Chains A and B, each alone.
Chain A
Amino acid sequence: MSDDLGLWSVPLAILGGAIRVSTPFLFVSLGETITERSGRINLGLEGTLVFGAMSAYATAVLTASPWAGVAVAGLAGGAFGLLHGYICKFPRVNDVAIGIALMLFGTGLAFFFGKPFIQPPAPPLPAIPFGAWSDLPQVQAALRVNVLFLVGAALSVALWWGFRNTKAGLVLRVVGDSADAARALGYDVDRVRLVATALGGVLAGIGGSYLSLYYPGSWNEGISSGQGLMAVALVIFARWNPLACFGAALLFGGAGALGPALQSVGISQGYYLFYAAPYVLTLALLVATSSPDRVLAGAPGELSLSK
C-alpha cells in the first residue's frame, strides 16, 4: 500500500471534497435559482436545509430506509416553500423578511423535533465506488460518489435546458422578468411563484437529507454551519444559471477541502486564511466580473435585488 502521495494528495483532496461537500450547495442553489427566476428571493432555505436534514434523519431512523428520509425531507421542504410562497402573495409583504423569519422558524423547529434523534444511528444513503479501478485508497475514497450528487448534476443540466426550451421555463422567466407582461399574457403570477418557491423548498429539503444521511452523515444541531445561506449567495455568483450553479457548488466544496488537505501535507501556517478561501474567491470573481455600466447580467427583472 503506497500511502504517501505527497503534494499530489492536495488536488486529490480538493476533487474528493468537491464531490463530497458540494451536493447540499448544489441542491439549495438550484432550488433558489428556480425561485429567483420567478422573481422572488427565499432566504429561508437555510432553515429548510436544516429541517430537511433533521426530518430525513428522523425518518431514516424510524423506518430504516434512507430513501424514505429523502422523500420526507423533500416534502417538508416543499411545505416550507409553499408557506413562503403563500405569505408573499399578499401585497406589500417583503420576501426577504419572510425568508429570514422562516430560516429561524425552520432551524428552531428542527432543533425541537430533532432532540431525540441526535444519538441513534441512521442507515446512510448508498454511494457508487467509481474509484474501484484504482489501488490507492485515497483515490477510491475521493471517487465514492453519492447518487444524490449525480441527480443534482443531471438536474442542473435539465434545468438549464428547461429554462430555455420548455413552456414552463419560458413562463417562469416571463413572470420573473416582468410581472405585468406575464399578467398581460394571462398567467397567474402568484401561482407561478408559489410553485417555483415550493420546488425550491423541495430541492433544499433534499439537500438537507444529503447532509444528515451521507456527508457528514449524522444529525446534530451544527450540521449545516450556514451552508444554506452560502448557497443562496452562490446563486448570484452563478448568475442564475443552473450550469454555473453546478460549477460554483463544486468550487465551494473543493475550496472547503483545501484547508484540511494543506495541513495534512504540512502547510499548516495560517489555516484560518485557507478556510476563508471560498469567500475570498467569491469576492474576487464578483469584482472581476462586475461592471458599472449595467445591472448584474442574468438577474431576473422582478427581483428585489435588481429593482
Chain B
Amino acid sequence: MPSRGPNEGEKGVAHLPLTRRTMLGAGAALGLAAATGGRARAATPLTVGFIYVGPKDDYGYNQAHAQAAKALKGMGGIEITEEERVPETNAVEKTMESMINLDGATLLFPTSFGYYSPYLLNEARKNPKIQFRHCGGLWTEKDPPNAGSYFGYIAQGQYLNGIVAAHASKSKKIGFVAAKPIPQVLNNVNAFLLGARSVDPSITCQVIFTGEWSLAVKEAEATNALVDGGADVITCHVDSPKVVVETAARRGAFVCGYHVDQSPLAPQKYLTGAEWNWLPIYKDAIAAMQAGKVPEHFVRGGLADGYVKMSPYGPGVSDGARRNADAVKAEMLKGGYEIIKGPLKDNAGKEVMPAGKAYPEKAPELESTNYLVEGVKGSV
C-alpha cells in the first residue's frame, strides 16, 4: 500500500541510533562481564520487538497490545522496539529481520493473525536462536521450536457482552459487525448470541462481514444496515471498533465494546466491553528469557488467567443485568467455563454438539470453529 513508503523511510533513520545504543550496551556488558566474571545476562538488556498491523492508538486490537508494551517499558533490563502499520505481507519479514539484525531483538511478538504463515515461520527457521511468539493461536508441534503462540479466550467477554445486551435490547435483535469468518471471530459471534440467549432464548443476532480488518466506510455501512434491520445493541470484531461504536451510538443503539475500553467514545450508549490484557503474557515470556529459559510455546487463558477483562458497566446497564453478568463472571473466574454446550445446532440446522457434551474454555476444538450457531443470522 502507498502508506508503506514514509514508514520505511522513518524506520531507516530511526533505527540507526538505536543500533549504536545497543552496541554500546553490549560493549559495556562485556566489560562488566570481564570485571565481575559473569552476570552478563543481567546487564545486557533484553530487546523485545512488537509488530502491529495498524496504528497503535486505534482504540482497538493494536492499542491493546501497545498498552501492554508501554507498561513493559517501565520494567528494568529490557528495551522495547516497536513498529506499527506493518502489512500482512513479506514486509513483516523485513521488519522482523531489521529488529533482529539492527536492534538486536531476541524476543519478537508479531501480533497480527496474518503474520504467521509463511512470514513468521520463514524467519523462525532462518533465525533459530531468536524466539517468536505469535498472537492468534496457530502454532502446532510441527512448527519450529523457537516459535509459539498465545491467545486469550475473549469469547468469554463476548458471552458477558451478550448477557448485558439481552437485558438492554427491546427489539430482541442484536447485531455483530465482523471482519473475516475465521475461528476466533466466529467464536465471538457465537458467544455473543449464546450469552444473550442465556437470558432470553428468543433473541437473534444478525452478523455482517466486512471482509477486511479495517475498512471504515464499510464498517459504518454495516452498522447502519444492522440498525436499519432492527438491531438495538451492536458489538463488533474488527481491528478498530471506533467507527462502529460511534456510528451505532449516533443511531441510538447501545454498544458493547471490544479489544479495549471504548466508553469515552459513547459514554451514554456504551454498556460494557470485552477487553484484552496482554501484559501478564508478555511479562511471563520476558521473565523466562531473563532466566535463560525458553518461553512457553502454547499460552492460552481467559478471565480466570487475567488475559481478558471487562469494561466497567455504562449507565444503560440495569441492576438485574449487572447481577446476572456478575454471577456468570464469577463462574468464569473459577476456570473451565463451557460456552459451547450440547445440545447445540448450527444455523443451518446441523448438530455441532450432542447433548451432554461441551467444550470447556481450553478445548483445542474451539480454534477450528467453522460454524455459526442457531440464532445467528448470516453465513460463514
Contacts and interface: CB of A to CB of B under 8 A. Distances in A.
Given A218-B246, A222-B54, A21 B217 contact: yes
B370 interface: no
B3 A218 contact: no
B225 A260 contact: yes
A255 to B, nearest CB: 11
Nearest to B170: A1
B5 interface: yes
B2 A103 contact: yes
A108 B3 contact: yes
B42 interface: no
B216 A216 contact: yes
Interface in A235-275: 256-257, 259-261, 263-266, 268-269, 271-272, 275
Contacts of A271: 209, 211
Interface in B194-230: 206-211, 214-222, 224-230
A299 interface: no
Contact of B6 (A111, A142, A266, A275): A111
Contact of A264 (B3, B226, B243, B247): B226
Interface stretch (A115-123, A186-194, A195-203, A282-290): A115-123
A interface, by DSSP: helix, strand, loop or mixed? Answer: helix
Interface residues of B, number: 47
Contacts of B247: 216-217
B5 A104 contact: yes
Nearest to B60: A220
B269 interface: no
A260 B3 contact: no
A216 B2 contact: no
B216 to A, nearest CB: 5
A216 B243 CA distance: 6
Interface in B45-59: 54-55, 57-59
B224 A141 contact: yes
B242 interface: yes
Contacts of B379: 268-269
Contact of A225 (B6, B173, B216): B216
A13 B225 contact: yes
Interface residues of A, number: 49
A263 B225 contact: yes
A293 interface: no
Interface string A210-224: 000001111011110
B251 interface: yes
Nearest to B245: A218
B59 A264 contact: no
B300 interface: no
Contacts of A138: 228
21 contacts: A17-B221, A20-B221, A21-B221, A108-B6, A111-B6, A111-B85, A118-B58, A118-B59, A121-B265, A141-B251, A216-B217, A220-B214, A222-B215, A222-B240, A225-B215, A260-B208, A260-B221, A261-B228, A263-B222, A264-B229, A268-B379
Interface of B: 2-3, 5-6, 54-55, 57-59, 85, 171, 173, 206-211, 214-222, 224-230, 240, 242-243, 246-247, 250-252, 264-265, 377-379
The list of the 8 closest CB pairs from A to B, nearest first, reads A108-B6, A3-B230, A216-B220, A260-B225, A264-B225, A264-B229, A260-B222, A268-B379
Given A21-B217, A220-B214, A264-B229, 16 more contacts: A20-B224, A138-B228, A216-B216, A216-B243, A216-B246, A218-B216, A218-B242, A221-B3, A256-B217, A257-B221, A260-B221, A260-B224, A261-B225, A263-B222, A263-B378, A272-B211
